[in-house]
Structure 1
Amino acid sequence: MPTEILMPALSPTMEEGTLAKWLVKEGDTVSSGDLLAEIETDKATMEFEAVDEGTVGKILVAEGSEGVKVNTPIAVLLEDGESADDIGAASAPKEEASSTAAATEASDATAPAKDHSVGETDTTPAPAAPKDSDGKRIFASPLARRIAAQKGLDLGAIKGSGPRGRIVKADVEKAEATPATAAEPNVDAGQPTAAAAAPSGPSTDAIVKIYAGRDYEEVKLDGMRKTIAARLTEAKQTVPHFYLRRDIKLDALLEFRSTLNGQLADRGVKLSVNDFIIKACALALQQVPDANAVWAGDKVLKLTPSDVAVAVAIEGGLFTPVLQDAHQKSLSALSAEMKDLASRARDRKLAPQEYQGGSFAISNLGMFGIDNFDAVINPPHGAILAVGAGVKKPVVGQDGELGVATVMSVTLSVDHRVIDGALGAQLLQAIVDNLENPLTMLA
């Protein structure tokens, strides 16, 4: 039976994409892992790999096509002995399909199996396609076949959620982890859901009518802008924010930074204040481990490493690349990694794993002269630190004398589901202590 190749979900927020370029043509033979196409997501241009082996029977979506919905058939793959005459109904793209199947299929197509006990890539070849008791082929992805073979699972007893009942990785994992389906909690039909209760703004037509007599330019939203709008709306509607504010005296840090930069000049290293902020936050998450956490729907995940995301402004939007294990890295290593991530973010060359994850984020607008602001939490993070500019201010010293110091205002936005007030205060205090005593960050 011909197999439809579907538009994959190459990132968690992707709903549609642009099929930028086909890397194969009709009649080409492909194997699992071969590159099929380049697809522009809401964040970057990524390569899409084949899941099965076969021959490209028909290309359904031309390269350059924009707004291709996730899970839309984009091509048809033929097995041995099949011809274009067998394509039939698969020759017309379907507008509606299961988004769950699309995301799962994309997961199979873009990521090799992982042995989570050791963190190594599984390169074991997939077993041959199995058959049921009647001798008919059981359709399953190579990754699903490999996992089933490793776990000793019978594919014939697993119901597939992929296209045309195809078994994918999630089906096998679900069969292993969930022998019986858990009962869904009862929902009171009289109670509106959160989505139903959420207020909606005026329609596009209503807003356009308001400005009918005025000159304006209509700006089309690209994928990134749509994603930012959706994510921030979700964050402000569903995440119970609260805010903690502190002033931080930077004089000791600025003096220490100047000394280090003088010593590192021969190595071409120049540390920024932001590098120290990243390090201070990473260490603070280790010093207050209960705050190193994310919201996971019905549970809280407490992370062991300090994976810190940093907002990077790019044309038309922003990225939040993640510096993993930031608490273990030197200031010079963090500086070099941040420069590399920021550069590739501006070119939209980051891979999804480089801007997903983390438990904590930093948004620094100090270089734009902003004294202070409140940042929006990026779910599922537990908190985000908004950093303002360092400015000269009058301060009262410990001896009671009036003096002048460089002071930076910061605001910690906190998800109250994850971090309570006192815990958030402890985290912010640890960040302040690290920045006001920079030598301790090297201990």
Structure 2
Amino acid sequence: MSRLLQTSFLPSTTSLHPRTGASSVPGFRVNKPRIVHVRAKIREIFMPALSSTMTEGKIVSWVRSEGDKLSKGESVVVVESDKADMDVETFYDGYLAAIMVEEGGVAPVGSAIALLAETEEEIADAKAKASGGGSSGGNSQSPPPVSSTTAEAPVAVEKKVSVSVPSPIASAVHPASEGGKRIVASPYAKKLAKELNVELAGLVGSGPMGRILAKDVEAAVAGGGAAVKTEVATVAPAVAAAGGGVELGSVVPFTTMQGAVSRNMVESLVVPTFRVGYTINTDALDALYKKIKSKGVTMTALLAKATALALAKHPVVNSSCRDGNSFVYNKSINIAVAVAIDGGLITPVLQNADKVDIYSLSRKWKELVDKARAKQLQPQEYNTGTFTLSNLGMFGVDRFDAILPPGTGAIMAVGASQPTVVATKDGRMGMKSQMQVNVTADHRVIYGADLAQFLQTLASIIEDPKDLTF
């Protein structure tokens, strides 16, 4: 669901003076008509807060242009928050009179990014207001320095293809796109490309850091999408070969998401934490996974479900302390799972994981991952976690520690399940699959005994996982 733009009035007043005068008829008195004030409605469109941690937003693309007529609920701009790209809608009918923060510009939450006029006649007044105080709307980010080799490639594309590229600030390959394997485009551009049957892989983006915008799709259609695809294919490999997608020695500013991650990590340093590790046998869990994998069940969902069931028995581990003076026993058990995406990290949330069956939980997880990678998660899908899982086991990592996200009580780092030689109950040597989990917790609320008991419960659930499929 798209977010709605916040607006406020910038009233302008004019006075209408009707003709007045004394009556020519003796004995009759004509009352002087009152002055009528007409208030023209010019509204400021503010940078909305798309998440609880968002302090500023970047304009990815303007869906509409200055002078366009807008209807209530219509998408106007795509904003990159600290977590996702979101189409933002307007609350009111009117005209997009003046854009105060251009594409690629950054504005603090609550600052004006555009003006909305109620009538066409007020557009000129709005433009005058914008030119008089537009500097408060936000600062346009300076493009990062690029080498002459990187900068020349888009210029060559511009000469060969009739696609408008305002300024060659980056190579055709987006630095966060893994050497061009993934397509970086605004949500509206993807939607438009699907409607117009345009292949995004063949376009050069004119947005920040090479992001494909809606106007790039429209330009490709106007100039011939096939030609664009052919010409770009001859240039992109050269750019990738020149530097492998990364220019060594270059200084790259944080993306909005990376900036948010940085702030959260620094904020977490003020919380007194401690860590407890535990080794869990996974033979039974592995066997269950093999049995139900064909039904769409994921290992992530199994781990989230097991964790949620254990948290239900140890609510203090699911609690959180925000003010340093009290803590909250959270009503719901919402498992946030860390996912690496292009240019950052995000934690999609499996809500009420203790109450949802494993099959529905797996389907929901796949949906969340797809939305996360497309930067289409809604705030409630990534900022409502009460306990976090971070799993590096798929990379062969056997153990690691995780940093506690601000506002939560604990995070669990999950390592790989590996065959291990162990002593059996009868004193013989045997082979078992084991994984190491390490929990980082807020020591103001959660104590060592709390974590020890929670991990014992978690181990018993994983080692006898019959309850996971109920």
- For 1:397 and 1:9, the matched residues in 2 are separated by 56
TM-score (norm 2): 0.63
Q: After TM superposition, give the deviation of residue 434 of structure 1 in Å.
A: 0.8
Name the amino acid aligned to 1:274. T
Secondary structure in structure 1 of the residue aligned to 2:415: strand
In structure 2, which of residues 285, 295, 303 is the aligned counterpart of residue 253 of structure 1?
285
- For 1:439 and 1:81, the matched residues in 2 are separated by 67
In structure 2, which of residues 227, 235, 249 is the aligned counterpart of residue 216 of structure 1?
249
Partners of 1:362 and 1:386 within 8 A in 2: yes
Q: Is 1:240 the counterpart of 2:272 in the alignment?
A: yes
- For 1:335 and 1:281, the matched residues in 2 are separated by 14
Partners of 2:51 and 2:383 within 8 A in 1: no
Q: Is 1:412 the counterpart of 2:439 in the alignment?
A: yes
Partners of 1:4 and 1:90 within 8 A in 2: no
Match of 1:279 in 2: 305
Match of 1:24 in 2: 64
Call closer, same or farther: CA 1:364–1:13 in 2, change over 3 Å. same
- For 2:110 and 2:467, the matched residues in 1 are separated by 52
In structure 2, which of residues 422, 439, 460 is the aligned counterpart of residue 395 of structure 1?
422
Partners of 2:45 and 2:115 within 8 A in 1: yes
In structure 2, which of residues 112, 129, 136 is the aligned counterpart of residue 95 of structure 1?
136
What does residue range 234-383 of structure 1 map to in structure 2 within 5 Å?
Answer: 234-235=267-268, 237-261=269-293, 265=294, 269-297=295-323, 298-383=325-410
Task: Return 5+ residue gaps in structure 1 as ranges.
Answer: 98-214
- For 1:346 and 1:281, the matched residues in 2 are separated by 24
Call closer, same or farther: CA 1:401–1:83 in 2, change over 3 Å. same
Partners of 1:293 and 1:359 within 8 A in 2: yes
- For 2:291 and 2:86, the matched residues in 1 are separated by 42
Match of 2:261 in 1: 228
Call closer, same or farther: CA 1:401–1:295 in 2, change over 3 Å. same
Deviates more, 1:48-57 or 1:386-395: 48-57
- For 1:60 and 1:81, the matched residues in 2 are separated by 18
Partners of 1:366 and 1:388 within 8 A in 2: yes
Match of 1:46 in 2: 86
In structure 1, which of residues 73, 85, 89 is the aligned counterpart of residue 112 of structure 2?
73
- For 2:373 and 2:119, the matched residues in 1 are separated by 44
Match of 1:161 in 2: none
Q: Is 1:6 the counterpart of 2:46 in the alignment?
A: yes
- For 1:323 and 1:76, the matched residues in 2 are separated by 39
Q: After TM superposition, give the deviation of residue 290 of structure 1 in Å.
A: 2.7
Task: Return 5+ residue gaps in structure 2 as ranges.
Answer: 1-10, 12-41, 139-247
Q: Identity percentage over the alignment?
A: 37
Call closer, same or farther: CA 1:81–1:391 in 2, change over 3 Å. closer
- Superposed CA RMSD in Å reads 2.4
Q: After TM superposition, give the deviation of residue 270 of structure 1 in Å.
A: 4.1
Q: After TM superposition, give the deviation of residue 28 of structure 1 in Å.
A: 4.2
- For 1:221 and 1:90, the matched residues in 2 are separated by 29
Q: After TM superposition, give the deviation of residue 318 of structure 1 in Å.
A: 1.4
TM-score (norm 1): 0.66
- For 1:66 and 1:283, the matched residues in 2 are separated by 45
- For 1:383 and 1:232, the matched residues in 2 are separated by 14
Q: After TM superposition, give the deviation of residue 282 of structure 1 in Å.
A: 0.8
Call closer, same or farther: CA 1:245–1:340 in 2, change over 3 Å. same
Secondary structure in structure 1 of the residue aligned to 2:390: strand
Q: After TM superposition, give the deviation of residue 312 of structure 1 in Å.
A: 0.9
4+ residue segments displaced more than 6 Å = none
- For 2:120 and 2:301, the matched residues in 1 are separated by 60
Match of 1:198 in 2: none
Q: Is 1:36 the counterpart of 2:76 in the alignment?
A: yes
CA deviations 1:242-288 (Å, max 9, x no partner) are 11110001112222322334xxx3xxx24343322111101111111
Call closer, same or farther: CA 1:405–1:57 in 2, change over 3 Å. same
- For 1:290 and 1:15, the matched residues in 2 are separated by 30
In structure 2, which of residues 81, 100, 105 is the aligned counterpart of residue 60 of structure 1?
100
Q: After TM superposition, give the deviation of residue 352 of structure 1 in Å.
A: 1.7
Deviates more, 1:301-310 or 1:48-57: 48-57
CA deviations 1:115-161 (Å, max 9, x no partner) are xxxxxxxxxxxxxxxxxxxxxxxxxxxxxxxxxxxxxxxxxxxxxxx
- For 2:450 and 2:329, the matched residues in 1 are separated by 14
Match of 1:431 in 2: 458
- For 1:421 and 1:227, the matched residues in 2 are separated by 30
Partners of 1:60 and 1:75 within 8 A in 2: yes
Name the amino acid aligned to 2:339. V
